[in-house]
């Protein structure tokens, strides 16, 4: 059975709940990090036979058991990224649709690109995280 840890951590200091070492080779992350929430959150697979009791009832750590639970947690982190794949096409389509980027003032680039992607602006690609 696959087991993972959902860990809260401070991106300013790098300190993880429960004193988890981010360089532990038996706790790989595979990019499952939500850096926008505070505290930040990440999912790390447990690749060795360590005793999980050390993580039970530790604030900021949740033990995830099985592929379904791990994949649900990956979905809940909302890690989809949006990238401009073809900048000339992207700008041309914005111009054709009469969409001005200054209406997005104060929003993150992730929020802007997600909104434009959902509006069907071409030249943007959605990248979803790999799951188990």
Domain regions of the chain by residue span: 3-76, 81-127
What is this structure's pTM? Answer: 0.79
Whether residue 19 contacts residue 7, with contact meaning beta carbons closer than 8 Å, is answered with no
Round to whole Å and give the CA distance between 61 and 67: 18
Round to whole Å and give the CA distance between 9 and 18: 9
Mean pLDDT by 10 residues, the chain (132 residues): 96 96 96 91 96 96 98 93 96 96 92 96 94 92
pLDDT value of position 78:
85
The CA distances from residue 84 to 25, 35, 57, 106, 112, in Å, are 33, 20, 42, 19, 11
Helix then strand then coil, % of the chain, to nearest 5: 30, 20, 45
């Amino acid at each position: 059975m696959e087991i993972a840890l959902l860990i809260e951590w401070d991106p300013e200091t790098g300190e993880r709940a429960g004193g988890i070492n981010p360089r532990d080779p038996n706790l790989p992350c595979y990019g499952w990090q939500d850096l926008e929430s505070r505290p930040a959150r990440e999912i790390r697979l447990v690749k060795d036979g360590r005793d999980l009791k050390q993580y039970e009832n530790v604030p900021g750590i949740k033990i995830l058991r099985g592929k379904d639970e791990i994949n649900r947690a990956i979905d809940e982190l909302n890690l989809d990224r949006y990238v401009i794949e073809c900048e000339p096409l992207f700008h041309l389509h914005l111009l054709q649709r009469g969409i001005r980027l200054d209406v997005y003032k104060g929003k993150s680039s992730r929020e802007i690109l997600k909104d434009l992607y959902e509006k069907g602006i071409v030249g943007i690609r959605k990248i979803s995280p790999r799951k188990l």
